[in-house]
Amino acid sequence: MIGSPGDEMLARSLPGPFMTEETARVAFIGFGEAASAFAAGWRGRASVDCTAYDVKTDSPNAAVRAAKQADFAADTVTGGATLDEALDGIPLVFSLVTPDQALVAAQAAAARLMPSALYLDGNSCSPGTKRRAASVIDGAGGRYVDVAIMAPVSTAGHKTPLLVSGAHASSALGELADLDMVADLAEGPVGTASSVKMVRSIMIKGLEALMAECMLAGRLAGVDETVLSSLAKTFPGIDWPKTASYMLERVATHGARRAAEMGEVEAALNELGLDGPMTRAAADWQAAIGSLAIDLAEDSYQSRADTILAALKPDTKLRALP
């Protein structure tokens, strides 16, 4: 689907297919968890043809290169040896890199995009970073769209809720619908969708950090069950043991990435004239646990908290109440 009549007229003038009726041509810059989740949702659909480029394919480590090529193959994605190769003639590009590389990726992609290609920046960046990336892409003749991924992609895959904003957001909505994705318009300029994401992250990532500290302290003091029971009375309707287990896993598995995102949240707060001490503290705690690189195979909050404690404080003994 072409997003608007104007887009349809433009598509006819482009030097190659914008999006045929039969096949959507999509490229990924960065092929990590989000890109893989999206591509996996389209796997086996002849109507979606995916290419990708990831810096790990340039790694000096042969095992890292091979693992990334295996990721491409698993999701039926054609891996480009270079960024030029991955973007050649592709009308719809998702940028899904680490937050600190979002602007770098936009700068690298700008000269390689086909005319009027939609550039969907789904990175967790501050509104200011998104605006700088938009200036680069639009200045090179592309169409930049601010995309915020609003839930973990591990749960809903390509149907993970998205918010889009900017001058070309309406066009992007049509293309995303054709890809069986779920997106809503955040009315406003580039930076609007990312503002929602950044401000929401203060609460989401902050709650994860608080839960981790609460459960580790509770296990050390031997009062974790009593604390969770009390929380259930104060905030009924929440399965607190399940929530604690989930949040501990998210911090342990994704703490480093979450800390990087919280760095962008702090930048967003600075753009608003706020200091953000809670955001900094949450980022530090997320980074500390994430750096342990531990596998939380068990699913109970008790076992997950104990595994984290064993890595943080290997000589500490848990103390049960008398």
Task: Output helix, strand, coil percentages for the chain, rounded to the nearest 5.
Answer: 55, 10, 30
Backbone angles phi, psi at 31, to 5 degrees: -130, 70
Cβ pair 37, 14 in contact under 8 A: no
Mean of the per-residue pLDDT values of the chain: 91
- pLDDT digits 0-9 by tens, 42-68: 987 768 999 999 999 999 999 999 999
Query: What is the pTM (predicted TM-score) of this model?
Result: 0.85
- pLDDT digits 0-9 by tens, 114-146: 999 999 999 999 999 999 999 999 999 999 999
The whole-number average pLDDT for the span 286-306 is 93
Q: Is the pLDDT of residue 185 over 90?
A: yes
Task: Look up residue 77 and give its amino acid.
Answer: V
Per DSSP, the residues of 228-293 read: HHHHHHHSTT--HHHHHHHHHHHHHHHHHHHHHHHHHHHHHHHHTT---HHHHHHHHHHHHHHTT-
Taking each helix axis from N to C end, the angle separating 240-271 and 127-139, rounded to the nearest 10 degrees, works out to 60
CA dist., res. 136 & res. 85, Å (int): 20
Q: Is the pLDDT of residue 11 over 70?
A: no
Boundaries of CATH 3.40.50.720 in the chain? Answer: 5-190
Write down the CATH superfamily of domain 5-190: NAD(P)-binding Rossmann-like Domain (3.40.50.720)
CA dist., res. 156 & res. 165, Å (int): 21
H helices present in 29-121, as ranges: 33-42, 62-74, 83-87, 102-110
Q: According to CATH, what is the number of the domain 194-312? A: 1.10.1040.10
Q: State the pLDDT confidence band at 155, using cuts at 50, 70 and 90.
A: confident
CA dist., res. 260 & res. 97, Å (int): 12
Q: Which residue has the higher pLDDT, 9 or 107?
A: 107
CA dist., res. 210 & res. 197, Å (int): 19
Boundaries of CATH 1.10.1040.10 in the chain? Answer: 194-312
